[in-house]
């Protein structure tokens, strides 16, 4: 191949490849931002449901609270604040009805969050 052919190929790669790479990077960046926003909303909904119960319920349901506490183990980006929230709830709920089951799940979740 001649130098002119290589130059043409190089120019084509530059003028097609760079915009294509930028478009791909931008797409991935936007998708990551959308995912972070979904995780933010989901996390805050879980915390609201944990403390207040599901919308329309008369109050928090024990098994739902236990499931939410368990689910907080998957919110790695929020693990530090989850630890503080759960430790606070553990103190607040001490001595309440069914507090033993909640305390056990909180302890298991705290152990997992602190050691990961």
Q: Residue 99 has what pLDDT?
A: 76
Report CA torsion sign: 22, 24, 28, 30. Answer: positive
- Predicted TM-score (pTM) above 0.85: no
Amino acid 100: pLDDT: 87
Quick one: pLDDT at residue 60?
64
What does the pLDDT read at residue 59? 63
Task: Give the CA distances from residue 105 to residues 22, 34, 91, 108, in Å, rounded to whole numbers and listed in that order.
Answer: 46, 31, 14, 5
The reported pLDDT for the residue numbered 34 is 98
3-state secondary structure of 96: coil
Long-range contacts, 83-88 (Cβ 8 Å, 24+): 83/110, 83/113, 83/114, 85/47, 86/110, 86/113
What are the mean pLDDT values of the chain's consecutive 10-residue runs (116 residues total)? 85 87 95 96 94 74 91 94 95 80 93 90
Tokens of 14: 């530059």
């Amino acid at each position: 191949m001649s130098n002119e052919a290589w130059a043409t190929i190089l120019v084509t790669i530059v003028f097609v490849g760079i915009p294509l790479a930028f478009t791909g990077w931008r797409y991935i960046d936007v998708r990551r931002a959308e995912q972070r926003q979904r995780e933010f909303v989901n996390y805050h909904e879980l915390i609201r449901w944990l403390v207040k119960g599901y919308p329309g319920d008369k109050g928090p349901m024990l098994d739902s609270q236990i499931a939410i506490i368990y689910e907080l183990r998957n919110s790695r980006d929020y693990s530090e604040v989850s630890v503080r929230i759960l430790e606070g709830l553990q103190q607040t709920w001490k001595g309440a009805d069914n507090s033993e089951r909640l305390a056990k799940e909180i302890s298991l979740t705290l152990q997992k969050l602190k050691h990961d």
